[in-house]
Amino acid sequence: NAGVTQTPKFRVLKTGQSMTLLCAQDMNHEYMYWYRQDPGMGLRLIHYSVGEGTTAKGEVPDGYNVSRLKKQNFLLGLESAAPSQTSVYFCASSYSIRMTGKAFFGQGTRLTVV
């Protein structure tokens, strides 16, 4: 049982390049989230999904796109990377949005944009 798996774990991009971060969960969770974590700040929600085929904006969605074509996968795309997107990205999943249950986090993707 792998839980939540993120790939890649590390990546360096040049400004203007594009990439996709993959999040996969094997717990049959409906809800999936993408967060970014920056020094001195709490995790901030980029986008989330309440089920297969759905996506919604979080608090910092600009410059990112997402897709949830399969229930177990949630993809985060950067179309034209900027240095301000240098961060650690975390994917999470949960059984319900009310989340009196646990949210499970992946191990993170450290992205550097130069």
Residue 19 in the binding site for other proteins (CB under 8 A): no
Q: What does the alpha-carbon distance between residue 71 and residue 75 come to, in Å, rounded to a whole number? A: 11
Residue 107 in the binding site for other proteins (CB under 8 A): yes
Nearer to other proteins, 13 or 31 (CB): 31
| CA-based nearest residue to 104, from 37, 45, 24 | 24
- Give the range of 11-19, 37-45, 65-73, 74-82 binding other proteins by CB under 8 A: 37-45
User: What is the contact mask toward other proteins in residues 42 to 81, using x (rule: CB under 8 A)?
Assistant: xxxx------------xx----------------------
CA end-to-end span of the chain: 36
Q: Which residues pair with 104 in a beta bridge?
A: 93
